[in-house]
Structure 1
Amino acid sequence: MPRIPYPDPATLSDLKREVLSGTFGRVLNISRMAMHAPDAFWAAQRALGRAAIFDIGIGQRQRELIILRVAYLSRSDYEIYHHESIAATLGIRDAEMKALEIGYFSNFAAAESCLCEFVSEVVTNVSPSDRTLASMQEHFSLPAIFEVLIIACTYMMLARIAAVSGPDIDDEAVTAWNPRQPQPHRG
């Protein structure tokens, strides 16, 4: 049961109705819950979220490593549920997800290990160490580093929205981000 009730659909603005009309052919509970936000914040979050999903320069695998590391550190069951499913679709193995969960990155390629350490330090310490930031600069361009940072911060925000509001876990996890790709049922 949610900690905060979902908003009454009859009270929603036209903007929110338009935004929710096509989300994976259904409305995710986190999206329903976030409808409490004022329209300007809602629109900004939508644009940021879409950019983090569809307009990234880093790879989809790296995006999901970022999101899962944030979700594990934030203990966000809601985000973990959806992003483990997406990660599996992208070929991220269960052992890799477990390593992300416990913070053991040595079996990842050097760039991914550095990425995961950077995200860990941003989530837990706000700022990465000079050493970690220097390592990121060896592996990633400055625009890519900012992309990683923005994706991590976006999902930190979503994890906290979920923690405070407590949306129900959706019946079916998202398995892919391509809006034209059908969402298979998980058994």
Structure 2
Amino acid sequence: MARVPYVESEDVPEEHRDLLVSSLQDRPLHVYQALGNNPEVLAGMRGFFGSLWSDSGLSDRRRELVVLAVTREIDNAYEWHQHVRIARGEGVTDETIAAVSAGEFDALEPEEATLLRYALAVVRGEVDDRTHDAIAELYDDSAVVGIAALAEGYAALGGVIDALGVELEEEFVGWDPTA
């Protein structure tokens, strides 16, 4: 059970009402409704995550692979569930999603494997010169900043979701969609 109420549009100032609705799913999501208890924080977080989506320097597919790897690492079922759906929409196969879930990055293209290893090193606080140099061979400095922010941003969001006890809107897709 959520630890804060899920607000409805009439509960927030008019200028923030549209922030309760997912632009991808065209419906309110519990995560936004929980954050809506503080409309200014909701607005700030939506702006931040919007920037991570559009300005990380990654393709949509690779952005979703990073989000999946991070949300699996932190064991956040809510974000995993949401992003499995989004990743599928970006052409990521269930077999690739299962490989990410299992940490089997060698099943991916080498560049994607390096990307996911870097993202997890960021979240684990384990980025060293070797790890940085590997990602810097593939991406410019702007993208490296975007990737690190994307990884930590979703780790932070997972922590907020866990702290607030945000519940899924429907049945969990599972950690392995091929099972």
Which range moves more in the overlay, 27-36 or 47-56?
Answer: 47-56
Query: % of aligned pairs identical?
Result: 25
Q: How many residues align?
A: 171
Pairs within 5 Å for 1:3-42: 3-7=3-7, 10-20=10-20, 23=23, 24-37=25-38, 39=40, 41-42=41-42
Query: Which TM-score applies when normalising by structure 2?
Result: 0.84
Q: For structure 1, which runs of at least 5 residues remain unmatched after alignment?
A: 174-187
Q: Deviations over 1:9-36 (max 9, x none)?
A: 5542333224336744211110000112
**Match status 1:132 vs 2:140:** no
Q: Which residue of 1 aligns with 2:143?
A: 144
Q: Deviations over 1:118-166 (max 9, x none)?
A: 1111112x24122111100111111011111111122112111111112
Q: Which residue of 2 aligns with 1:64?
A: 64
CA separation in 2, counterparts of 1:22 and 1:107?
Answer: 32
**Match status 1:79 vs 2:68:** no
Q: Which residue of 1 aligns with 2:167?
A: 168
* 2:12 and 2:39 in contact (8 A); partners too: no
Q: Which residue of 1 aligns with 2:175?
A: none
CA separation in 2, counterparts of 1:91 and 1:48?
Answer: 25
Q: Which residue of 2 aligns with 1:181?
A: none
- What's the secondary structure of 1:66's corresponding residue? helix
CA separation in 2, counterparts of 1:130 and 1:87?
Answer: 30
Q: CA deviation at 1:56?
A: 4.3
Q: For structure 2, which runs of at least 5 residues remain unmatched after alignment?
A: 173-179
Q: CA deviation at 1:7?
A: 4.0
Q: Which residue of 2 aligns with 1:115?
A: 115
Q: Which residue of 1 aligns with 2:50?
A: 50
* Cα separation, partners in 2 of 1:22 and 1:74, compared to 1, 3 Å: closer
* Cα separation, partners in 2 of 1:94 and 1:25, compared to 1, 3 Å: closer
* Cα separation, partners in 2 of 1:142 and 1:113, compared to 1, 3 Å: same
CA separation in 1, counterparts of 2:70 and 2:120?
Answer: 7
* Cα separation, partners in 2 of 1:22 and 1:148, compared to 1, 3 Å: closer
Q: Which amino acid aligns with 2:147?
A: V
Q: CA deviation at 1:73?
A: 0.7
